[in-house]
Amino acid sequence: MALAMALAMAMVMAIAMAPVMAPALAVVMALAMAMAMALALAIALGMAMVMAPALAIVMALGMALAAALALALTMAPAKKINKDNKMNEIEINGEIYIKKSAMTSEVISEYVIVRTYSAGVFAGEILSRDKDYIVMKNARRLWYWSGASSLSQLAIDGVAKPEECKFPVEVDRVELFNVIEIINTTEKARKSIADVKIWAQ
């Protein structure tokens, strides 16, 4: 009878632990705990024959509580693993914020024109992107252009009056925040931007 109860407990515990750990490991741990519970039940039944039934019941309840505590301690590491997976998140006033280094970056290598909210316009290649945060390489600030009615035309045709444009020296790497527009460019536009004489004072 004790063995049957133990096996039933093992099945229940294996099902409960499967979602938080490897199924095979859950079964092994459940069986081990079931054997311990079966031994506790057998001891309790044996004690009932040699002492007052009330005392035997109290001792059996104590062993059941100990088994429950062992189960809780066994499950704790698995829960901790699940908690650790959220170490890069924090909730403030109901809003969940994710650590920037934990975000998945979108890697792009095309030559583009990037417009930011307050830092101006840049032309170059994107190394990585996280929402409105971009890292560019071989980037050139388009401080002033002439011969294109808009950035859209500049990205397609380049500039018609390169001698009037003010494009400073190209930098190896730049980080841009609050990006609000990204435009793909043609090879014609890229060459046009590259051919503009460096503006310096």
pLDDT, position 91: 73
Q: Rounded mean pLDDT of 172-182?
A: 96
- 172/166 Cα distance (integer angstroms): 19
Residue 156, pLDDT > 60, answer: yes
Confidence grade of residue 134 (pLDDT, cut at 50, 70, 90): very high
pLDDT greater than 50 at residue 130: yes
| Segment among 11-25, 32-46, 90-104, 125-139 with least mean pLDDT | 11-25
Q: Which whole number is the average pLDDT over 97-115?
A: 65
Residue-wise pLDDT for 34-92, tens only, equals: 666 666 666 666 666 666 666 666 666 666 666 656 655 555 444 443 444 456 667 77
The residue ranking higher by pLDDT, 104 or 193, is 193
Strand partners, 135: 128, 175
User: Under CATH, to which class is 101-195 assigned?
Assistant: mainly beta
- The backbone torsions φ and ψ at residue 85, rounded to the nearest 5 degrees and listed phi first, read -65, -15
Alpha helices in the chain (DSSP H): 2-17, 23-50, 53-84, 151-157, 187-195
Identity at 71, one-letter amino acid code: L
- For residue 24, the model assigns a pLDDT of 59
Q: Where are the domains of the chain?
A: 2-85, 101-195
Q: How far is CA 123 from CA 31, 83, 94, 194, in A?
A: 64, 42, 38, 10
